[in-house]
Amino acid sequence: MQWNDAQERYELGQLGLEELVQEFGSPLFVYDSAKIKSQYLKMEQALSACPSVKINYACKALSNLTILKLLRSLGAGLDAVSYQEIKLGLAAGFAPEDIIYTPNSVGAEELEAALALGVKLNIDNIEMLEYLGHKYPGQGFCIRINPHIMAGGNAKISVGHIDSKFGISIHQMPLVERIVSSLKLNIEGVHMHTGSDILNVEVFSMAADILFNIARKFDTVRYVDLGSGFKVKYKESDIETDMQEFGQEISQRFNALCEELGRELTLMFEPGKYLVSEAGCFLAQANVIKQTISTIFVGIDSGFNHLIRPMFYDAHHEIVNVSNPAGKPKIYTVVGYICETDTFGYNRKLAEVREGDILAFKNAGAYCFSMASNYNSRYRPAEVLLHEGQAYLIRERETFEDLIRLQADLAIF
């Protein structure tokens, strides 16, 4: 999102944000395809020293079919965490072999259904590895390792520490090796993911050393998946992961591993937020301006039913008044219309907000619409993709009929 001096308006993808609300309504999620593409190419270029790299988009970040098709067209594979995400990936045109399924706490029925679709299966517990190994001899599996590294910008998005539910503990590897040996399992990949919002390249290097050591234990390994967790900027003063530095460091270590093993492996990643976060913008209208003894509230036509990250993760999203950019700066607390405490930002300096003004929330491409709900029986908003100067509606706004469509209307009372 940027300010256009010539047209005196805020734009995304060279289209005016206020005009988009006028066309598609409010609240509204808007995504810029050019930003998604540039993030993908930046990562691809940073890892160009590796002979074989596969970037699998973590579609839980934003699972709209059009977004999936865009990333497939760039050459991405898909990281799915549910059977439904696998089906979405197939519907978007991904080949089964380009989808890696990394669930946790699911039953054998879902895992076997995924196997039947032909996707790569990433197993994160020993019992399931043994069960599937017995039942599907010769089947290739990936194993997810818990490296016991505490990393990430928030305890809720740190998934590689010792108390995490994710992955097989590195201390259980001797047992895994015995199972693999006795059942003659085909361990085709090893995987780990330590968390999100990691900016220190050394954390990735430490995790890579652990995973590379595990890859050395299995001569059937064809790919090594380092997950993701790259930090993006949420405000101008933020630090982000230095992708170029990361690429150089990891490429050097990975190439040395391949040379040592005498065979070419594929280095895999599963970025979600890194690819789509900064491409997204959430637009909402100011309903009320409410002055209390100590606070001026701006109440908008949205709530944590649409954008839960500030409430769930204490996440920061920059907020801009796009309708009155030249207005006198004032301090506001921006809140939603949900019958709970749903505060988007405390004491934010904004250009004076009037009823009807449009506020824009930056970094709304990842874990925003995908975490939306119908709480308070509110409708989920529309989604729009900006592509090559055109705005495309990629999800219609919900209606009352959508709320009751799957409910039974029993005539028993």
Residue 367 among known ligand-binding residues: yes
pLDDT confidence of residue 159: 44
Residue 313 among known ligand-binding residues: yes
In the annotation, is 50 catalytic? no
Q: Is 341 exposed, middle or buried (0-12, 13-18, 19+ CB in 10 A)?
A: exposed
* Ranges of CATH 2.40.37.10 domains, the chain: 2-31+279-404
Instruction: Enumerate the β-bridge partners of residue 122.
Output: 142
pLDDT confidence of residue 157: 39
Output the average pLDDT for the chain: 91
CB count in 10 Å sphere of residue 108 = 12
Residue 136 among known ligand-binding residues: no
Q: Which of 50, 59, 281, 339 is catalytic?
A: 339
* Ranges of CATH 3.20.20.10 domains, the chain: 47-272
Q: 181 is written with which tokens? A: 């040996």
Closest CA to 365 of 64, 153, 140, 62: 62
pLDDT confidence of residue 198: 58
Residue 31 among known ligand-binding residues: no
Q: Which residues of the chain have pLDDT under 50?
A: 151-161
Q: Which overall architecture, per CATH, does domain 47-272 show?
A: Alpha-Beta Barrel (3.20)
Residue 189 among known ligand-binding residues: no
Give Cα separations from 229 to 74, 204, 207 (angstroms).
21, 9, 12
pLDDT confidence of residue 162: 60
pLDDT confidence of residue 232: 87
Task: Return d(Cα 325, Cα 55) in angstroms, integer.
Answer: 39
Class of domain 2-31+279-404: mainly beta
